[in-house]
Amino acid sequence: MITLNYWAIIVSAIFSMVLGALWYGPLFGRKWMEIVGVSPADMERRKEMQKGVGKLYLIQFLLTLFQVWVLAYYIAGWQEVSGVQNALWIWAAFIIPTIAGTAMWNNDSAKISWTRFLIQGGYQLILFVVFGLILTYWK
């Protein structure tokens, strides 16, 4: 029987929200707004984007809880590699191809596509490494 630490799962999901706020805020927020077509001066458009985000944050949090819960099962069941290695395999095999597909198959320039890929892929890389650490060491 696999035993999971549900506190570790909840903390991991909370961490994803904090990292997302930093990543898409002070760290890469300006570049991200440029990619999605919003200028910092366009306050009206930014206000429009903020409407209804509470529901989106809740949905994202619930999806992340599910994601970390599934990852916790993989880490608990695949003992031949560490939790971080496990998380990195899943990141490389499932997350990166999905992000690459969304970055490549659009009408953006190559520069914007690569920037989108690197921002999203970097966020997910840090997220999965931290998930792996938390789920491995918080027993």
pLDDT attached to residue 93: 94
Residue 47, Cβ neighbours under 10 Å: how many?
9
Q: Could you say which residues of the chain have pLDDT below 70?
A: 40, 43, 45-46, 49
pLDDT attached to residue 40: 67
Single-letter residue type at 134: I
pLDDT attached to residue 34: 87
CA dihedral 137, 96, 122, 55 (to 10 degrees): -80
pLDDT attached to residue 17: 96
User: 29, 20, 32, 116: which is closest to 67 by C-alpha?
Assistant: 20
Residues 71/87, Cβ–Cβ less than 8 Å: yes
> Which contiguous run of DSSP H or E holds residue 133?
helix 110-137
Angle made by CA atoms 82, 84, 88, in degrees to the nearest 5? 115
pTM score, two decimals?
0.87
pLDDT attached to residue 11: 97
pLDDT attached to residue 1: 77
Distance of CA 48 to the CA centre of its chain: 23
